[in-house]
Structure 1
Amino acid sequence: MLQTLHRVTILGPRLSFGSRPFSVSSILRANRAVVYTQTGDPSQVLTTVTYDALPSPAPDTLNIRFLLAPINPADINVVQGVYPAKPSLTSLVEGHEVFVGGNEGLAEVVQVGTGVSGLTSGDWVVMTKAQAGTWASSRNVRPQDVLRLPRADGLTEVHGATMTVNPPTAYNMLNDFVTLEKDEWVMQNGANSAVGQAVIQIAASRGLKTLNLVRQRPDLDDLTRKLKALGATKVLTYDDLADRALTKTIVKDWTAGKGIRLGLNCVSGKDTTAMARLLGDDAYLVSYGAMSKEPLSLPTSLFIFKNLTTAGFWQSRWYKTHTREDKENLMRTLVDLVSQGKLKEPEHEILSIGAEESDEAAGQKIRDIITKMSAGQYGKKVLLRFEGAQ
């Protein structure tokens, strides 16, 4: 008995379907990918397609199977066409060029082509090429676009899938701008974000103290307990910053009068302006996001009288400007933190796409969760898994 496999036809921003016969056993082992043909509203342009098994890898390439791939806010921005990094078209779907979603993910090496050294079947790898198209069950890639992830006690698939964006961002911001000694303070906003939680843990592993700013919320006490369990020293809300005299007194008391020399910003707007006033002399304010969608505005006096330095950080640029050895060292450092119990899995939810689900049902499931994420209805990291892929 035959069932129907949908064949892709490109018609504008969405994909429409013809059909051809396909066996039940093949459907249960089909490869899948989340694709789009032009940028726009993810609920309108994203769809899921089935594609054939990969052929044996050509020389100097390898075939990988993705185990988990995050759906990050930046990934949604890429689909919307409002993010600086752009994906490349691929002919993954026979006869058509499409964009495959996803930038980050953990994959397993399935087959290695001739001429590839340092990688073997069964190795775990992460992507070092930006916008590699990780929302797929399998891909053929160049060895220079992946990095082998060292196996270690306590290292889970979730750790691996989330290892190349948030923890490196936290680690590099803590190391690349100011040389901080034990018991010095770091201040950050967006402290409950994935990067913020990584900052807390990595700072704590180095004996640094953190002042963490979050928005006021009904469950503030629960959030504060959660952040302190990760290693946060102090937690304040943006509303607390409104009382400048009180805040300065409290912070001065906490830091024993020693100025805070590093501030990390992912919010911008007026809350970051208030936060910057708490920095000490010769401090750095490093921005890696602007969740408020407001500009960063700082008093000129901070530059004149406190010698404030401002800088931006983008992990994608770091990967472009650093050597493979630098990247390998960074991964080893982060894996070591995991194995020492100093870097936990992010709070997460796994979105599994069953092998028996139709492409349309799978696409609708993904569109629905991205719509909820875009509306701020998800506090957990969402990780995509395709079941039954070959």
Structure 2
Amino acid sequence: MLLPVFGVCMKSQRAGKGLLKRTRLLENALVCPFSISSGRRAQACQALLFRKHGDPSQVVKLEDVNVPSLGVRDVLVKMLAAPINPSDINMIQGTYAILPDLPAVGGNEGVAEVMEVGSQVKGLKVGDWVIPRDAGVGTWRTEAVLAEDAIISLPNDIPLLCAATLGVNPCTAFRMLSDFEDLKPGDCVIQNAANSGVGQAVIQIAAARGINTINVVRDRPHFTQLSHRLKAIGATHVIKEEELRRPEMKELLKVCPKPKLALNGVGGKSATELLRHLQFGGSMVTYGGMAKQPVTVPVSALIFKDVKIRGFWVTQWKKDHSADARMFRGMLDDLCDLIRRGKLTAPACTEVGLGDYSKALNMAMQPFTSAKQVLIM
């Protein structure tokens, strides 16, 4: 089915027709947002749409959609690659903090190439690489017309997978390592979910700053191989969750300073164990809850260790700093510099063609997954 495109919602004289028009307008606005039309002929693209919330394997479908006319402040982009993140899955399931109106195109992250620009676009040109400034663009599609201020340019001399996965996980890691504790070379950070996209970025950014990391992962059949891989990208120590409660942890902290900062992407008992090892006055920052269990804070940690309990959501950070474009631009420039110097790489990725999206979605929801599924357009 080819979804039609409307630029103006016209009042229908029949209620049934009016409802159909409103539904089609909604489909168009969410599939391919645009501004004032300059009359470019509409063309078709492919997109992964979901029309209701539920199991991604059941509700996500590859469909043909119309690309709307190019507005004077819009750009036509060709999507190059887009990852499948846990937040994307949660959004489709209907459990994420922000949910789009339906139908919606999946995906909140990815890299695209500018193919055409509107007559009043000043900051972008044909051939530029761009990523979304914020969530909600819908990146799982082959083409889109987007407002200039909805995207930001990236240098195209960095690897494709680095560019496609730069806007969420590395930015989350960068901000958490920068905004909560004054970390200096030789200091220590402890984190769970160390094999996640955020975890791998934390390891590399911390290593580039001379900061030690204690990286906690769940036990698994191939723990040794995972440990070697994390250490190869800069991890100081890699331990299993159960080791947090063993005497060996005291021995580790004799050769590594007590952490100033704990990064929690799991919740539940794992988060409580991280707290136990924080130094006096340290901070635990929660950015995820994969265990789907509450964070329990012992009274003793608050009274006798004066720990600080914080939360972080990169989407909120972007909103809070949207008025100062230099903040986001500066962070991306710093991250790209790390990439060029070989200090920051993309997480382990599995490249999947858009037509094989069902396999990619299924793999993204498997436990003990260390490789990020990336749709290649």
TM bin, normalised by shorter chain, reads 0.7 to 0.9
Letter of the 1:382 counterpart: Q
Distance 2:248 2:333 in 1: 43
- Contact 1:213-1:238 at 8 Å conserved across structures: yes
- In structure 1, the partner of 2:87 is 74
Determine which of 142, 163, 166 is the counterpart of 2:169.
166
Deviation at 1:238, TM superposition (A): 0.9
- Contact 1:197-1:227 at 8 Å conserved across structures: yes
Q: Residue deviations 1:285-343, cap 9 Å, x none?
A: 00001111111001111111111001001111111111211111111010000000000
Find out whether 1:87 has 2:136 as its counterpart. no
Letter of the 1:214 counterpart: V
How many equivalent residue pairs? 340
Deviation at 1:134, TM superposition (A): 0.4
Question: Normalising to structure 2: TM-score of the pair?
Answer: 0.86
Find out whether 1:347 has 2:348 as its counterpart. yes
Deviation at 1:376, TM superposition (A): 2.5
- Contact 1:194-1:346 at 8 Å conserved across structures: yes
Find out whether 1:34 has 2:48 as its counterpart. yes
2:98 counterpart SS class: coil
- In structure 2, the partner of 1:279 is 278
- Contact 1:75-1:103 at 8 Å conserved across structures: yes
Find out whether 1:267 has 2:282 as its counterpart. no
- In structure 1, the partner of 2:332 is 331
1:282 counterpart SS class: coil
Distance 2:72 2:137 in 1: 19
Letter of the 1:138 counterpart: E
Distance 2:215 2:196 in 1: 11
Q: Residue deviations 1:78-123, cap 9 Å, x none?
A: 011000122245xxxxxxxx31111001011111101111100000
Letter of the 1:259 counterpart: K
Deviation at 1:377, TM superposition (A): 6.8
Distance 1:119 1:333 in 2: 20
Q: Residue deviations 1:352-388, cap 9 Å, x none?
A: 13xxxxxxxx3xx3234313322327431111123xx
Which stretch of structure 1 is more off in the superposition, 58-67 or 373-382?
Answer: 373-382
Distance 2:82 2:369 in 1: 17
CA RMSD of the aligned region, Å? 2.0
Deviation at 1:52, TM superposition (A): 4.0
TM-aligned CA distance change 1:377 to 1:352, over 3 Å: farther
Distance 2:44 2:74 in 1: 22
1:379 counterpart SS class: coil
- Contact 2:82-2:110 at 8 Å conserved across structures: yes
Return the structure number with greater strand share. Answer: 1
- Contact 2:116-2:125 at 8 Å conserved across structures: yes
Alignment of 1:1-390 (within 5 A): 6-7=1-2, 31-52=45-66, 54-55=68-69, 57-89=70-102, 98-152=103-157, 155-243=158-246, 245-247=247-249, 249-255=250-256, 258-322=257-321, 323-353=324-354, 362=355, 365-376=356-367, 378-386=369-377
1:174 counterpart SS class: helix
Q: For structure 2, which runs of at least 5 residues remain unmatched after alignment? A: 5-19, 28-42
Deviation at 1:71, TM superposition (A): 1.1
Letter of the 2:94 counterpart: G
Letter of the 1:43 counterpart: S
Distance 1:207 1:325 in 2: 26
Deviation at 1:42, TM superposition (A): 1.4
Distance 1:345 1:372 in 2: 18
Distance 1:377 1:193 in 2: 10
1:109 counterpart SS class: strand
Letter of the 2:374 counterpart: L
- Runs of 4 or more consecutive aligned structure 1 residues displaced over 3 Å after TM superposition: 6-10, 52-55
Letter of the 2:338 counterpart: L
Deviation at 1:234, TM superposition (A): 1.0
Distance 1:151 1:330 in 2: 17
Deviation at 1:51, TM superposition (A): 2.8
Q: For structure 1, which runs of at least 5 residues remain unmatched after alignment? A: 1-5, 16-28, 90-97, 354-361
Identity of aligned residues (%): 37
TM-aligned CA distance change 1:232 to 1:84, over 3 Å: same
Distance 2:199 2:329 in 1: 23
Distance 1:133 1:156 in 2: 22
Q: Residue deviations 1:148-198, cap 9 Å, x none?
A: 11244xx11111100100101111000000011111111111111111111
Distance 1:286 1:53 in 2: 41
- Contact 2:84-2:364 at 8 Å conserved across structures: no
Deviation at 1:53, TM superposition (A): 5.3
- Contact 1:87-1:132 at 8 Å conserved across structures: no
Deviation at 1:130, TM superposition (A): 1.2
- Contact 1:281-1:306 at 8 Å conserved across structures: yes
Letter of the 1:252 counterpart: L
Distance 1:312 1:367 in 2: 33
Distance 2:317 2:180 in 1: 13
